[in-house]
Amino acid sequence: HDAGCDPSDAAVEGVKRLAKQSHPTLPVGLLIRNKRRELGLSQDDLARQLGVAQGSISKLERGLGGEQHAPAILAALKSERKG
């Protein structure tokens, strides 16, 4: 096993840094949940958009895993506009 940093790990850490800069007291999962709800999207809607399991969205929002999906989720939410 390579001791170096996996590129996906670097992306997750970058997302966490950005989240802390924006809202230092909120975990990434909570930021994602708040933004998703603000846009009127269900976990299932977002999961279908991204081609991931709804459970991955749920786990990430609850802080139980799914961090590998955080960069794609945040990018999708950032580009979404409330209709």
Q: For the chain, give me the number of helices (H) and strands (E)?
A: 5, 0
Which pairs with CB-CB distance under 8 Å and at least 24 residues apart come from 43-52? 46/73, 46/76, 46/77, 49/76, 50/76
Q: How confident is the model at residue 31 (pLDDT cuts 50, 70, 90)?
A: confident
Q: Does the global pTM surpass 0.75?
A: no
pLDDT tens digits, one per residue of 39-62? 999 999 999 988 889 999 999 898
Q: CB–CB of 82/38 below 8 Å?
A: yes
First-last CA distance in the chain = 46
Predicted local distance difference test score (pLDDT) of residue 23? 54
